[in-house]
Structure 1
Amino acid sequence: MIWLQFILCMALIGFAGTKLSRYGDIIADKTGMGGTWVGLVLMASVTSLPELITDISAVTVADAPNIAIGDVLGSCVFNLAFLVVVDFLYRGESVYTRASQGHILSAGFGVVLLVQPVAGRQSAGTRAVFTNHRARLGGYSKELAG
């Protein structure tokens, strides 16, 4: 029964994703925000909400930080693999050459954030880079060290 529920959720997310993409494009056109900005902020935020809830519950309810970190890093790798597949399937020139220069900034920011789990793991028992005593921005170092 759990697999049926999982597959149903997956199908629902797939259906919603196609609608979300279409509406994101409409929002970009009508507001003049541009596809890069809508994709980076709106689309990424909305599509990351399920991961956010999963990760919060993994750390707070299930006491399973490995699930949270694996979810985020696995999702990142999976999304990057999608880009490779899309680039392969796209006829004509590479999708990377057609993409806006604005994506360079977001890619750079993503690289900086991806360093967090590594920094947190390497400095086991201490706080990761870019964190303070109230909020940990990635790198659940104490949980990973345990």
Structure 2
Amino acid sequence: MAFVWLKFAVCTIIIFFSGKRVAKYGDVIAEKTGLGGLWIGVILVAIATSLPEIFTGVGSTLFVNAPDLTIGNLFGANTYNLLNIAALDFLH
């Protein structure tokens, strides 16, 4: 059980420092490209939130040999995101 908590602590530290670096380099990218910091932040958050679907898709295709899971995951995630946006737009 102690090993699980140790792994959790290590992952927490890695995420903390990685988040700081992403924020720092996001500002650098915004300055060099001339785009706003908000725009770069949106792009970085979109990439970060899409990574689980990407890894799930690659894993299901390569390791389980089930490309149908990849297609279902991508369509399901995109449909869910679009429905959330539509619901929030309707509430606004």
| Other structure's SS at 2:65 match | coil
2:41 matches 1:38 = yes
Q: Using the alignment, how far apart are the partners of 2:40 and 2:76 within structure 1?
A: 24
Structure 1 unaligned residues grouped into runs of 5+: 1-22, 91-146
| Other structure's SS at 1:76 match | helix
Q: Using the alignment, how far apart are the partners of 2:81 and 2:39 within structure 1?
A: 16
Question: What is the RMSD computed on CA atoms of the aligned residues?
Answer: 2.1
Q: Using the alignment, how far apart are the partners of 1:77 and 1:37 within structure 2?
A: 24
Please identify which structure carries the higher helix content. 2
Q: Deviations over 1:116-144 (max 9, x none)?
A: xxxxxxxxxxxxxxxxxxxxxxxxxxxxx
Runs of 4+ in 1 over 4 A off after TM superposition: none
Give the equivalent residue in structure 1 for 2:14. none
**TM-score w.r.t. length of structure 2:** 0.58
| Other structure's SS at 1:63 match | coil
**TM-score w.r.t. length of structure 1:** 0.38
Give the equivalent residue in structure 2 for 1:83. 85
1:63 shift after superposition? 0.5
Q: Deviations over 1:27-62 (max 9, x none)?
A: 5xx9363323321x2011100111111111100011
Q: Using the alignment, how far apart are the partners of 1:85 and 1:34 within structure 2?
A: 27
| Other structure's SS at 2:89 match | helix
Identity among equivalent pairs (%): 31
Q: Using the alignment, how far apart are the partners of 2:50 and 2:72 within structure 1?
A: 14
In the comparison of the two structures, how many residue pairs are matched?
62
The correspondence for 1:72, drawn from 68, 74, 77, is 74
